[in-house]
C-alpha cells in the first residue's frame, strides 16, 4: 500500500490514506508478532516490509501542508522498499529465497527512481511511483498463481489479492497519465473513494492469508523434519540391531544372535520335520599362535577364519557365528548329515589353504581347525541345546583324533 501526494487528491484525502496505511501496517506487524513465537513461522523480509510501509505512511501524515521534495521522496522510497520486501517475502513462502544479489540492486534502483522524479510535475511523479507499485504487487501475484500446482486455496486467495491491488494501482496510473476533461474530474474522486477501502480490505485479507500460508509452510517443513527424524531413527535402530547381532572382531554373527537363530530354526524344523545341522569349529593351538605372533595377529587370524566360514555357509538361511574365543559355529537349516559334512570339509580345507604360518602348532606348520558336525531331526522330545551338546562332543573327538579333521554324527534319524 502507498500514499502519494498529487494534484487529484487534496490534503484531507492524503491524511486519511496515510493514517489508514499506517494503522493497517501497524496492525499487521502486531499480528505478525503473535505468529512469530515459533522460529519456523517467521517470514523473512515481511516484518521489514510492514515497518517500512508504516514509517513511510507516518512521514506523509506529519509532512505538513507544503512538504518539501525530500519528505515526499523519502516517504515514497520507504513505501516502495516495503512493497519490494513484501514481494521477496512472498517469493520465500513459495520456496524461492531472494539473495543480496537481487534485493540490494533493486533497493538502489528504487532510491534512484524516487530521486529522479524530482524533475517531474506532481501528477507525473505520482504516476511513476504508482507504476512501480503496480510492478511490485503484480510480481507476487504471478509467483503465487503460476506456481500453485498443488491448488492451495490460501495461495489462490493471496495471489488474487495482490493481483487486485496491482490492478487498482494500474487503474490509478492510467487515470493520471491521461488528460481528463473537467467534466470527468468527479469520477477521479469516485475512483479514489473505491480504491482506498478496497486496498485496505484486500491487504488485510492478504496479510491474514500470508500468515496462514507461512504457518502452512512451517507445518509442512515440520512434518518433513519429523519424517526425516523417523527415517533416521529407523536407520539407527536397524544399525543398532545389526550391531547387537554382530561380533565386533570378526564381523559375523555373535553368540547372542546365534542362540536366537538356533532356537527359532529348531522350532521351525520341529514343525516341518526337516534335518537341522550344526557345525562347531575350533582353531587348533590358538593360544600358542597368540604367544608366538601376538594378539594383533591373532585377531587378524580370527577375522580371516570368520570370513571363510561365512563364505561357505552361503545360503540365505545359513548362519556363521563366533561362538566364543577361537570357537565358531554354523547353523545349516534343512541340511542332512552328508551335506553338512561336505560343507565342514570345505571350510577345513579353505582354512588350511590360507597357509597362515603357525610355528607353534604341533599339527601343521600353518593354522588349521577342527570340526564337529551334528545333524538331527528336530522333535518336541529334544531341545536345541542337545544338538549343541552333540556337536561339542564331536568337536572334542576331532581334537582328540589329532586335530585338523571333521567328525560327523546323526544324533537322531
**Cell numbers linked to 271:** 514343525
Q: How confident is the model at residue 226 (pLDDT cuts 50, 70, 90)?
A: confident
Q: What is the pLDDT of residues 303-322, one digit of tens each?
A: 999 999 999 998 999 999 99
Q: State the pLDDT at residue 13.
A: 43
- Please identify which of the residues 86, 223, 241, 326 carries the catalytic annotation: 326
Q: What percent of the chain has pLDDT over 90?
A: 34
Phi-psi region of 406 (alpha: psi -120 to 50; beta: other; left: phi over 0): beta
Q: How confident is the model at residue 283 (pLDDT cuts 50, 70, 90)?
A: very high
Q: State the pLDDT at residue 9.
A: 38
Q: State the pLDDT at residue 149.
A: 60
Q: State the pLDDT at residue 30.
A: 53
As a whole number, mean pLDDT of residues 64-75 equals: 73
As a whole number, mean pLDDT of residues 25-40 equals: 53
pTM of whole model > 0.75? no
Asked if 266 and 412 touch (Cβ cutoff 8 Å), the reply is no
User: For this structure, is 265 an active site residue?
Assistant: no
Q: How far apart are CA 352 and CA 354, in angstroms?
A: 5
Give residue 94's Cα distance to chain centre: 18
| Spatial CA neighbour of 4 closest among 78, 111, 87 | 78
**Cell numbers linked to 318:** 545359513
Asked if 103 and 96 touch (Cβ cutoff 8 Å), the reply is no
Task: Name the pairing type of β-strands 275-283 and 327-333.
Answer: antiparallel
Q: What is the pLDDT of residues 130-151, one digit of tens each?
A: 899 889 888 888 888 876 665 5
Domains, the chain, with CATH or none? 11-227 (1.20.1070), 255-412 (3.30.70.270)
**Cell numbers linked to 45:** 523480509
DSSP at 329: E
Within 13 Å of residue 333, how many CA atoms lie on the same side as its CB?
A: 18
Residue 324: pLDDT above 60? yes
Q: Is 26 helix (H, G, I), strand (E, B) or coil?
A: helix
Q: How far apart are CA 94 and CA 163, in angstroms?
A: 16
Q: How far apart are CA 129 and CA 152, in angstroms?
A: 32
Q: State the pLDDT at residue 68.
A: 75
Amino acid at each position: 500500500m502507498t500514499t502519494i501526494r498529487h494534484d487529484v487528491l487534496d490534503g484531507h484525502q492524503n491524511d486519511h490514506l496515510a493514517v489508514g496505511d499506517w494503522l493497517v501496517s501497524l496492525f499487521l506487524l502486531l499480528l505478525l508478532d503473535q505468529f512469530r513465537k515459533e522460529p519456523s513461522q517467521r517470514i523473512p523480509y515481511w516484518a521489514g516490509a510492514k515497518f517500512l510501509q508504516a514509517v513511510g505512511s507516518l512521514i506523509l501524515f506529519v509532512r505538513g501542508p507544503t512538504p518539501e521534495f525530500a519528505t515526499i521522496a523519502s516517504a515514497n522510497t520507504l513505501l516502495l522498499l516495503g512493497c519490494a520486501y513484501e514481494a521477496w517475502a512472498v517469493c520465500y513462502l513459495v520456496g524461492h529465497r531472494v539473495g543480496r544479489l537481487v534485493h540490494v540492486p533493486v533497493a538502489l534502483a528504487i532510491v534512484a527512481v524516487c530521486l529522479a522524479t524530482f524533475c517531474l510535475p506532481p501528477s507525473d511523479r505520482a504516476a511513476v511511483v504508482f507504476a512501480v507499485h503496480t510492478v511490485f504487487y503484480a510480481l507476487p501475484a504471478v509467483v503465487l498463481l503460476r506456481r500453485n500446482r498443488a491448488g492451495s486455496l490460501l495461495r489462490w486467495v493471496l495471489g488474487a489479492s495482490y493481483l487486485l491491488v496491482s490492478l487498482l494501482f494500474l487503474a490509478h496510473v492510467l487515470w493520471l497519465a491521461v488528460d481528463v476533461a473537467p467534466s470527468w474530474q468527479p469520477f477521479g474522486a469516485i475512483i479514489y473513494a473505491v480504491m482506498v477501502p478496497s486496498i485496505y480490505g484486500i491487504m488485510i485479507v492478504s496479510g491474514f492469508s500470508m500468515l496462514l500460508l507461512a504457518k502452512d509452510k512451517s507445518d509442512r517443513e515440520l512434518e518433513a523434519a519429523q519424517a526425516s527424524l523417523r527415517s533416521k531413527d529407523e536407520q539407527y535402530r536397524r544399525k543398532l540391531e545389526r550391531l547387537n547381532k554382530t561380533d565386533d572382531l570378526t564381523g559375523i554373527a555373535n553368540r547372542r544372535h546365534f542362540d536366537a537363530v538356533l532356537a527359532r530354526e529348531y522350532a521351525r524344523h520341529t514343525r516341518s520335520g526337516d534335518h537341522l545341522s550344526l557345525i562347531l569349529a575350533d582353531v587348533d593351538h590358538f593360544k600358542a599362535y597368540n604367544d608366538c605372533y601376538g594378539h594383533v595377529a591373532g585377531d587378524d587370524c580370527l577375522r580371516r577364519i570368520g570370513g571363510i566360514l561365512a563364505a561357505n555357509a552361503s545360503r540365505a538361511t545359513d548362519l556363521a557365528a563366533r561362538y566364543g574365543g577361537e570357537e565358531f559355529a554354523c547353523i545349516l537349516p534343512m541340511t542332512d548329515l552328508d551335506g553338512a559334512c561336505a560343507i565342514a570339509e570345505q571350510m577345513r580345507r579353505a582354512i588350511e589353504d590360507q597357509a597362515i604360518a603357525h610355528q607353534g602348532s604341533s599339527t601343521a606348520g600353518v593354522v588349521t581347525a577342527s570340526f564337529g558336525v551334528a545333524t538331527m531331526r528336530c522333535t518336541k522330545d529334544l531341545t536345541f541345546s542337545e544338538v549343541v551338546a552333540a556337536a561339542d562332543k564331536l568337536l572334542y573327538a576331532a581334537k582328540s583324533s589329532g586335530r585338523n579333521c571333521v567328525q560327523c554324527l546323526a544324533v537322531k534319524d
